[in-house]
Amino acid sequence: QTLLEDLGKRPFVTVGFLAWLLLLPLALTSTDASVKRLGFKTWKLLHRLAYVAAAFGVIHFLWRVKKDASEPIYYGLAVGVLLALRVWDWNQRRQRARYA
C-alpha cells in the first residue's frame, strides 16, 4: 500500500500525518538563523503550530489503539494540563500589562 492509500483508508494515519506535516516547518525553523530571518513575531506565531500538532498527536494515538485507551488518555490529559497552564500564564501576563 502507498501512503496515499493509507491516508484515504485510515483516519488515524491522516491525523498522524497532519501532525507530522505541522512539525516539519518547526524543525526546519528551529535555529537562531531562522528566528533572525523570519523575525521573532513571525517565528513565534509559526511555532504555535506545536499546540495543534500536539492535539493531532493525541487524537492519532487515541484512534490508533484498539482496546485499552488509557495511555493516550493520559497523554491527552497531560497535553490539556500543559495547554491550560499556557493559557493561564498568558492571561496573567495580559492582566499585569493592563494594570502596569
Between these two residues, 9 and 62, which has the higher pLDDT value?
62
- Give the span between the Cα atoms of 82 and 76, in whole angstroms: 10
75 close to 56: Cβ distance less than 8 angstroms: no
Q: DSSP character for 39?
A: -
pTM of the full structure: 0.82
CA atoms within 13 A on the CB side of 22: 19
The answer on pLDDT for 48 being more than 80 is: yes
Which whole number is the average pLDDT over 33-43? 96
Confidence of residue 29 (pLDDT cuts 50, 70, 90): very high
- Give the span between the Cα atoms of 33 and 48, in whole angstroms: 18
